[in-house]
Amino acid sequence: MQTAVADIKDEQILTLIQKQGQQERGFRLLLQKYQERLYWHIRKLVIDHEDANDVTQNCLIKVFRGIQRFEGNSSLYTWLYRIATNESITFLNKKKKIGTDSIDNKALSLAEKLQADVYFDGNAIQIALQKALQTLPEKQRIVFQLRYFEEMSYQQMSEVLGTSVGGLKASYHHAVKKVERALKAA
Amino acid sequence: MGCQDYQEEPNNYYAMSEKEDILRELQDIAPELAKFKEEQEGTGFQVPPRYFRDLTQVVMNEVKEDLQDQPSSLAKPGRWWQALLESVQSLIQPKPALALAFIGLLLAVGFWFGQSNSALDTVNPNLAMNNDDLEAYVLANIDDFETDLLMDMYAETFPEEEEQITEENLDELLQEMDDEDFEDLWDAENFNE
C-alpha cells in the first residue's frame, strides 16, 4: 500500500487537489505520501512527540490552505519541507522566548528528557548525537538535519531554505566537524 | 525502553545515488561520523501505534471543516489574483462605482486641504519680507487695499500728523512715506503675524 502511494506522482496529486470535488481525495493522497516524512523531519527538530504532533498538524493544515497558491516554481517535496521547517522554527522560537535555558543546560535537560521519553528508544550514542545537535546554531542544525538525516541534495536544500548552495556546503561542513568533535568527547 | 508496537522511522525514502554521495562527502569531512552513520540505524525516535493513521484522520477532519467553512475560496481552482480580480469586478458595478468615485473625490479634497494648511503652517522664515519688499508690495498692490481701511490705519498709526488723509491726497502721502513709516503701519496692524 505504502509503495503504491509513494509511486503516485506529485503532478497527479496536484491535479486532483485542483479538481472540484476531488480535493479531499487528492489531499488524502498527499498526506499518505508525505505526512510521515514531514513528521520525522519536524520531530528531529522539536524532539518531543507531543510537540511534533502539534507542529505537524499545523503544518499540514497550512499546506492544505496554501496548496491552491502553489505554482510549481519549486517541487512539491521541497515546498512541503519549507513549510515544515518554518513551522518548526516558529515553534522553537516561541518556546525559546518562554524558557531561559542556556545551550549547555538545554543539552543536559534534553538528555534527561530523552531518557524519560516513552517514545524514544535510542542508545547512548544516539542520545550523544542529539545532545551534540542541540549545541549547534539553529541554521547549522537545520542544514545538518536536511543533509545527514533527510539526505537531501544541496539543490533541494537551497529550495527549502532559500540559501545558496555554497553557503549550505559551508554550513554543513562546520556542523559536521562540530558534531564529530562532540561525539568523540562524549 | 520502547514498546514493540511503536513505529520507528523507515530508512528507505531516499534515492540511493544521493545517499552514496552524502556518505562519501561525510567520509571526506568527518570519517568517524560517517562510520557512526553507517553503523547506526534510525534515530531512536518512535511514535505511538497507528499514529499516522490517526494523524491522517485528524487532519482530514480539519480539512473537511475548512471546506465547509470556505466553500467558495477553496472549492474553486485558481490563483490568488483571480480571487482579487473577482472582488474588484464585483465592486465595479454602476452604484458601487459611483459611491467609490464620490468617496475618492472626498478623500482627494480632504488630502488637498490638509496639504494646503500644513504648507501655510510651515512658512520658511527665510521667505519673510524685508522693508524694501514690504514697500514694493504695498505700492504694487495698493488697489487691493481698501481706501477707508488705509486711511483709518494711517490716522491710528500717525495721530500726530496734522494733515487729514483723504482719498485725494492718499497717493501723495503714500509716496512720501519712508521705510520706517511703512514698517510702523505694518506692525500696527500685526501683518507680520
- Asked if the C-beta of A179 comes within 8 angstroms of chain B's C-beta atoms, the answer is yes
Q: Kindly tell me if the per-residue pLDDT of B94 is higher than 90.
A: no
Per-residue model confidence as pLDDT tens digits over A84-132: 999 999 999 998 887 655 655 666 577 788 888 889 988 888 999 999 9
Query: How far apart are the CA of A83 and the nearest CA of chain B, in angstroms?
Result: 16
Q: Kindly tell me if the per-residue pLDDT of B52 is higher than 60.
A: yes
- For the ranges A139-153, B18-32, B162-176, the lowest mean pLDDT is seen at B162-176
Partners of residue A176 in chain B, C-beta under 8 Å: 26, 29-30, 33
Percent of chain B with pLDDT over 70: 28
Q: Tell me the longest C-alpha to C-alpha distance in chain A.
A: 58
Work out the mean pLDDT of chain A and round it to a whole number.
90
Predicted pLDDT of residue A70: 87
Per-residue model confidence as pLDDT tens digits over A36-50: 999 999 999 999 999
Query: How far apart are the CA of A36 and the nearest CA of chain B, in angstroms?
Result: 7
Q: Which residue has the cell 482579487?
A: B84
- CA A75, A79, A85: angle at the middle one, nearest 5? 145
Q: Kindly tell me if the per-residue pLDDT of B38 is higher than 50.
A: yes
- How is residue B176 written as a grid cell? 512720501
Residue A16's pLDDT band (cuts 50, 70, 90): very high
Rounded (10°) angle between helices B51-69 and A49-66: 40
Q: How far is it, in rounded angstroms, from Cα A111 to Cα A101?
A: 14
Tell me the residues of chain A between 80 and 99 that have a Cβ less than 8 Å away from chain B.
none
Q: Residue B9 and residue A40: Cβ atoms within 8 Å?
A: yes
CB contact at 8 A, A95 and A110: no
Q: Residue B56 and residue A40: Cβ atoms within 8 Å?
A: no
Candidates B159, B120, B45; CA nearest to A113 is: B45
Give the residue with greater pLDDT, A31 vs B98.
A31
Q: Residue A61 and residue B1: Cβ atoms within 8 Å?
A: no
User: Which ipTM was obtained for this model?
Assistant: 0.88
Q: Residue A24 and residue B67: Cβ atoms within 8 Å?
A: yes
Per-residue model confidence as pLDDT tens digits over B112-169: 655 544 433 444 444 445 555 555 555 555 555 556 666 666 666 666 655 566 666 6
Per-residue model confidence as pLDDT tens digits over B70-82: 655 444 444 555 5
Partners of residue B15 in chain A, C-beta under 8 Å: 151
Query: Which residue among B6, B18, B79 places its CB closest to the CB of A119?
Result: B6
